[in-house]
Structure 1
Amino acid sequence: MAVRLAVRLGVRLGVVTALLGTTVALAPAQAALAAATALTPSPYAFADGAQSIEGARSTADAPLLKPGTSYKSSLPSSGKVNYSLQLDAESNAYVSVTAVPSPGSTVSVIDGIKVSVQDAEGISCSADTASFGAARSPHPIAAWGMRERSPAKTLCRKAGTYYVSVERADPDGEGSSPDAWDLELVAMTEPPTAKTGATSAPEVWDSASPQPLQGQAETRRGGAGFATATPLDQGVWRDDIRPGQTLFYEVPVDWGRQLHVTADLGSSDSAGTGFTADALDLALYNPARGPVADIGVGYDGDQKSGSLPPLPPVDHANRYAVIRQVGAVRFAGSYYLVAHLSESVAESFGDGPFPMTLRVRLSGAAQAGPAYAGESAPEGVFEVSDEDREAAAEGVAAGDDTAMRAVAVGGIGTGSALLVGLGVWTLVARRRGVA
């Protein structure tokens, strides 16, 4: 969580550092920064320290992905790129791939990414596809691949080399720009359980949709990527979102708990008219960044609301379910909410920002999880710690001082940010002088 805070602060104050190196007066710099922020949605924030690698056209040259490490790569408009994994014979392995088209590019309804995993003999272990949907608005989307050990599966069980292939979902389709997309890849491993547990998904769970949580909304500014996602607890959370912008949040969900989320998009103060299908896209991803469920909310300038479909309580045995969204709720940890507002909203209702409210409800009592016979990579990714709970309650990592919490949760004025940066710069300069 400390790393996430550092990245979050770096993203928000990066412009400040650049301004400090110039001789531009403070007031003009503030005005210029405010104007740029108002017109340009935040770009995707890759994980701090993500390693740059190049996917190979042939599996023979596929670079190795180490579990627990984040990578930055790219995907051409046609053809596959390949990566490799070295796996033991017992662990489950997951690879999430986030595709990030350029904000100015165009995408088709069915275009997106396809992620597949094969063993050394070319046998398919899994395949998953993510697309942009009816709004045709370019934004970060993620799909995952897996090698899972299951009593019901006889393939992909050996130790050895496995290959991850990534390609465009509709490489020959019309309506998509031919430019390459950035990729963020993260591999994770889940150890086996110490004891043999259930081999089928729970048959009975409460699938009723509860009343959306009510109450006064509290402001929480979303992050610009999975690595900088803003922690949320149960509550009503308010943020502003601009056309073309994607905001990331994370909700710690323990074993036995059930997550319910409703998104409200407020009315426009513009006199414009029109309708955008799936204007607000809200997607939920599990701790391995695997897709769980999503909802598209149409917009005509009046307030609109939509809820994610009912999800079961988090249970290790959910992985044996036939329904994909049930099978994805297979481990505890941080579940990610990713909200995107379609670029086309600006055509009818202006650049915004538009008020968005997230109503997050957690039901059910936390339970003990499975007794894992080993440690995951990265460590602790499939559990909820006390630090995670504190971070969700406060909006930032536990242990950080009040000033830093103010920056990460609500943002601070541009002038204040510049003054903070100037103070740090002055202190560093003085220390260098002493040295």
Structure 2
Amino acid sequence: MPVRLGAVAMILGAVAAAAPGPAAAAGTASGTPSPYAFADGAQSVEGASSTGNAAPLKPGGTYKSSLPGSGKVSYRLDLDAVSNAYVSVTAVPSPDSTVSVIDGVKVTVQDAEGNTCSVDNTSFGAARSPHPIAAWGMREISPGKPLCRKPGAYYVSVERVDPDGEGSSPDTWDLELLAMTEPHTAKAGPTSAPEVWNSATPQPLPGQAERRKGGAGFTGATPIGQGAWQDDIRPGQTLFYAVPVDWGQQISATAELGSTDSGGTGYTTDALDLALYNPARGDIADVGVGYNGDQKAGSLPPLPPVDHANRHAATAQVSALRFAGSHYLVAHLSKGVADSFGDGPFPMTLRVRVSGQPQGGPEYAGESEPKGVFDVSDQDLEAAAEGVAAGDDTAMRALAVGGIGTGSALLVGLGVWTVVARRAITA
């Protein structure tokens, strides 16, 4: 009997796992969209007010921390003398907080001698709608960058861009940090970025859109490939999608926000924000789409093909397209849309084009951390075609691809439970 009851428990557990949880549903019990789904197993770490007490971040590790309303917090990286290192910081303000136009998160990397290796910041923009945003820091080994080449301790500091600005509230923000390393190349390559590439404005991909539900965080980003993809988005909600882009390929994307019959009037500046991040979660480009209740659309600017040599470019937008792997499209609908047009949801369509044949990348002298983060595998392409992250359980993939609803799964589970229970009684 205990064995059979254990089997029943396993069945019910599997059925429960098939049902979308809070992170998958991107919502809370009150119906307010959840701001972010942190990586499962993210290690908690406390940012230090002084670099002398900074906690270490291990390459390949994902961490959860917090950022006070004012002041810096610091973390430590212990690095060798040959690898490039990157740290992405995703800042997650409360949906109830207020932010100024220029407020955001700033990430600085310095060596032990106080030399600045990199500075990056990302802001919320004209919509002033709080939502998850990411900035990155790097320690880069490059012939043109004589500083920050020594092995040893490096420090990552994180701070608000405009904590005292008009309209900014001094809330504590949650942080997700991801540290990674990129090995050096086995052979010396170009020391300048490609000068010629197809910079013509790409045409949005036509065709009927397929429904594909976005994720609630970088780790849970829904894989998509070239195509037209439709989802529903609510004011204040942020949706994440992962697009595999290989060496030599160009990505372009257009976001469309459908019309509403709510009867509301008004205009929301940058109502729909679409941002593109690279595999290290470094910001590449974004576009804001204003909204007045009629259908609107906006496209990312033309971007060059992914090339290892792009890192030598003078512009940050080109420099960020420096490695292959999953690039992230992050869509946010301003909470201000609800003031004029209600809570929605609003239909959103992403038209994604990945042009060009994959090319051979650089020969790395070692493995990245995490492994495979700067590659596009057959599993990545399969996941993009199916809309299920690579490595997901086969049964769960069947549920997602086959479109079996949670209710159907529950009925099947209860049916199996009934059969098992009857056998247990008659045994």
Q: TM-score, normalised by structure 2?
A: 0.90
CA distance in 2, matches of 1:429, 1:118: 63
- Structure 1 residues 172 and 372 mapped into 2: Cα distance closer, same or farther (>3 Å)? same
Letter in 2 for 1:327: S
Letter in 1 for 2:65: S
1:140 maps onto 2:132 in alignment? yes
Letter in 1 for 2:289: V
8 Å Cα contact 1:13-1:417 kept in structure 2: no
Corresponding residue of 1:49: 41
CA distance in 2, matches of 1:133, 1:104: 17
8 Å Cα contact 2:35-2:132 kept in structure 1: no
CA distance in 2, matches of 1:42, 1:288: 23
Corresponding residue of 1:375: 367
Alignment equivalent of 1:114, drawn from 102, 106, 113:
106
- Alpha-carbon deviation of 1:426? 9.4
Alignment equivalent of 1:204, drawn from 186, 196, 216:
196
CA distance in 1, matches of 2:247, 2:355: 11
Letter in 1 for 2:322: R
Consecutive aligned runs of 4 or more in structure 1 exceeding 4 Å deviation: 9-12, 33-38, 398-403, 406-414, 417-430
- Structure 1 residues 160 and 421 mapped into 2: Cα distance closer, same or farther (>3 Å)? farther
8 Å Cα contact 1:96-1:145 kept in structure 2: yes
Corresponding residue of 1:331: 323
Corresponding residue of 2:379: 387
Alignment equivalent of 1:305, drawn from 297, 301, 315:
297
CA distance in 2, matches of 1:214, 1:406: 28
Aligned to 1:337, the other structure's residue is in SS state strand
Aligned pairs for 1:166-177 (under 5 A) are 166-177=158-169
CA distance in 1, matches of 2:73, 2:297: 39
Aligned pairs for 1:7-156 (under 5 A) are 13-14=20-21, 39-156=31-148
Alignment equivalent of 1:233, drawn from 225, 245, 255:
225
How many residues get paired? Answer: 406
CA distance in 2, matches of 1:224, 1:427: 37
RMSD (CA atoms)? 2.6
1:364 maps onto 2:371 in alignment? no
Alignment equivalent of 2:287, drawn from 273, 277, 295:
295
- Alpha-carbon deviation of 1:419? 4.8
Aligned to 2:56, the other structure's residue is in SS state coil
8 Å Cα contact 1:139-1:244 kept in structure 2: yes
CA distance in 1, matches of 2:165, 2:415: 52
- Structure 1 residues 218 and 368 mapped into 2: Cα distance closer, same or farther (>3 Å)? same
- Alpha-carbon deviation of 1:369? 0.3
CA distance in 1, matches of 2:27, 2:121: 37
Letter in 2 for 1:136: R
- Structure 1 residues 427 and 258 mapped into 2: Cα distance closer, same or farther (>3 Å)? farther
Letter in 1 for 2:73: V
Alignment equivalent of 1:274, drawn from 258, 262, 266:
266
Letter in 2 for 1:189: T
8 Å Cα contact 1:239-1:355 kept in structure 2: yes
CA distance in 2, matches of 1:141, 1:90: 30
Aligned to 1:166, the other structure's residue is in SS state strand
Aligned pairs for 1:173-252 (under 5 A) are 173-252=165-244
- Structure 1 residues 428 and 108 mapped into 2: Cα distance closer, same or farther (>3 Å)? farther
- Alpha-carbon deviation of 1:40? 1.8
- Alpha-carbon deviation of 1:106? 1.0
- Alpha-carbon deviation of 1:414? 5.0
Corresponding residue of 1:164: 156
- Alpha-carbon deviation of 1:43? 3.3
| Stretch of structure 1 that moved more, 298-307 or 410-419 | 410-419
CA distance in 2, matches of 1:286, 1:330: 8
- Alpha-carbon deviation of 1:85? 0.1
CA distance in 1, matches of 2:17, 2:302: 36
| Stretch of structure 1 that moved more, 140-149 or 38-47 | 38-47
CA distance in 2, matches of 1:425, 1:55: 48
Which whole-Å deviations, capped at 9, do the CAs of 1:123-180 have from their partners, x for residues lacking one?
1000001110000101000000000011111100000000000000012212112110
Q: TM-score, normalised by structure 1?
A: 0.88
CA distance in 2, matches of 1:279, 1:82: 33
Corresponding residue of 2:343: 351
CA distance in 2, matches of 1:428, 1:297: 54
| Stretch of structure 1 that moved more, 64-73 or 406-415 | 406-415
CA distance in 2, matches of 1:10, 1:286: 31
CA distance in 1, matches of 2:258, 2:278: 27
- Structure 1 residues 72 and 10 mapped into 2: Cα distance closer, same or farther (>3 Å)? farther
- Structure 1 residues 10 and 56 mapped into 2: Cα distance closer, same or farther (>3 Å)? farther
**Percent of residue pairs identical:** 77
Runs (5+) with no aligned partner, structure 1: 1-8, 17-32, 431-435
- Structure 1 residues 106 and 398 mapped into 2: Cα distance closer, same or farther (>3 Å)? closer
Letter in 2 for 1:110: I
- Alpha-carbon deviation of 1:94? 0.4
- Alpha-carbon deviation of 1:239? 0.4
8 Å Cα contact 2:26-2:35 kept in structure 1: no
Aligned to 1:227, the other structure's residue is in SS state coil
CA distance in 1, matches of 2:120, 2:402: 36
Letter in 1 for 2:170: P
Letter in 2 for 1:151: P
CA distance in 1, matches of 2:296, 2:249: 27
Aligned to 1:393, the other structure's residue is in SS state helix
Corresponding residue of 1:6: none
Which whole-Å deviations, capped at 9, do the CAs of 1:231-276 have from their partners, x for residues lacking one?
0011010000000000000000000000010111100121000000
Aligned to 2:144, the other structure's residue is in SS state coil
